Structures are given as C-alpha cells and as structure tokens.
C-alpha cells in the first residue's frame, strides 16, 4: 500500500457521461498530480495541485477539470466522455510542490462504451 | 517539452538472465528516476539518481546516471518471475522541477 488512495478502482460508463475520480494523498503530502495512461502509451501528465492551488498543467483536455480540497484530497472530473478517454488514471502525491519523487496510487481504470 | 526515448520497448527473457535497458534524451538532466509498474498497479520508485556518473544499486537492480547527463541505464541481474512489469525512466520537468516526464516504458516478460 503506497498510502495514496484512489477510488473507484474500476468504472464503466457510456459516451457523453460525466465521472469523478477521487484521490487521497499520502499523509503529510501537500501536492497531488494526475496522470493518464492509455493503452500502449506511457504516463501523460494532466495537472498538479499544491495545497489547494493549481501549480502546473499538462495536456489536459478542456472537458477535464480537477480540484484539491482543504483536506488535501483531489478530484478529477471527466465530462462529455468519448471512447478515447478510456484509460488508467493515476494520482500521485509528494510532500512539496518541488519534490521530484512521486508516490503513485493504484489507479482508476475508466472504460467508456 | 522534454522527451525521453526508452529502449527496448519490450523484452522476453528466461529466468536467471540479466537485463539491460536504457533511456536517452537530447536534453540534460540533473535527476533520473526509474519506476516499475506491476500489472494492475501504479508505478513504484526503484532508484533515484542525482549526480552524473552515479551508480546506485537496489538489490538486484543497478542504475547509472550517464556522464553526459542525457542518458541513464537500468540493469537487472539474475531475473526472477516477479520482475515482470513495465519499467519507466522519468525526469523532473525542467521549469517546474516537480512534475515528472516519463519514458514510454520497457515491458519485461520473464519466462520461468
């Protein structure tokens, strides 16, 4: 157990729908990162939050949004889902915004039918 | 943005064999990280390298930070079935220093 908790572990939904993925960082970590891993692709950085504020943005679609709450948990919202959004979504955390060693959760597998 | 070229893309070996994989870039880095992803799990940090020329071991794993600072190597000795998984190299993003850029991974299969 890495200490980073992601829910749900698996999610199946239909095109056009909206889902929310949740992440609780490791105790003491203030920074949360979201990554997408599609089939046959590496890990693509989506967005980073530090202590409730957005710190960095990667190749995140406009249909996707995220936030980090005062208790430091984070949610990734995916809307108007398309087949191509099917992927593993990983959350990672680190103690500070500048830390370069991330601890990953087990991921949420999203399947869009 | 920075791009990491990882090779080989996949490897099929027999138990007991040694494994070598590498990661290269056109950019210079101050940190190289190696992660392993087991099937159905998130990546787990194996080794972190912070100095050019550094050679660091973690059990049967040994990683090296290339002298040019543009590459890194990971070796696994005497492979066992639980070494199966995807191995990723990663480096911190140049400007933010926190978000990681990952290579595309080396898929390792170990036949008993």
pLDDT, one tens digit per residue, over B69-85 is: 999 999 999 999 999 99
Q: In this complex, which of B42, B98, B104 lies closest to A100 when CB atoms are compared?
A: B98
Test mutation, A101, A105, A108, chain B, max B CBs within 10 A: A101
User: H or E stretch including A68?
Assistant: strand A64-68
Contacts of residue A1, defined as CB under 8 A and 6 or more positions apart, other chains included, come to none
Distance CA A62, CA A45 (A): 14
A3 pLDDT tier (thresholds 50, 70, 90): very high
Inter-chain CB proximity A100 and B33 less than 8 Å? yes
- Residues of A whose CB is below 8 A from B41: 106-107
Contacts of residue B59, defined as CB under 8 A and 6 or more positions apart, other chains included, come to none
Q: What angle do CA A35, A41, B81 make, to 5 degrees?
A: 100
Give the residue-averaged pLDDT of A47-59.
92
Phi, psi values for residue A14, rounded to 5°: -105, 160
pLDDT at position B61: 97
8 A C-beta contact, residue A73 and residue B10: no
pLDDT at position B94: 67
């Amino acid at each position: 157990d890495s200490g980073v908790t992601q829910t749900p572990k698996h999610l199946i939904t239909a095109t056009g729908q909206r889902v929310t993925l949740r992440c609780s960082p490791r105790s003491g970590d203030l920074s949360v990162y979201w990554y997408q891993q599609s089939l046959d692709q590496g890990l693509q950085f989506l967005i980073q939050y530090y202590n409730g504020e957005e710190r960095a943005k990667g190749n995140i679609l406009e249909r996707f949004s995220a936030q980090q709450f005062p208790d430091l948990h984070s949610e990734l919202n995916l809307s108007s889902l398309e087949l191509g959004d099917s992927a593993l979504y990983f959350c990672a955390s680190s103690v500070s915004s500048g830390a370069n060693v991330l601890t990953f959760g087990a991921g949420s597998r999203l399947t869009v039918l | 943005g920075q791009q990491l070229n990882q090779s080989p893309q996949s490897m099929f070996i027999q138990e007991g064999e040694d494994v070598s994989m590498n990661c290269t870039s056109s950019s210079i880095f101050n940190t190289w990280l190696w992660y392993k992803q087991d099937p159905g799990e998130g990546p787990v940090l194996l080794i972190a390298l912070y100095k050019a020329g550094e050679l660091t071991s973690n059990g049967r794993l040994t990683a090296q930070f290339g002298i040019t600072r543009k590459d890194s190597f990971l070796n696994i000795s005497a492979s066992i079935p639980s070494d199966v998984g995807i191995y990723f190299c990663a480096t911190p993003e140049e400007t933010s220093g926190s978000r990681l850029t990952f290579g595309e991974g080396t898929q390792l299969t170990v036949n008993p």
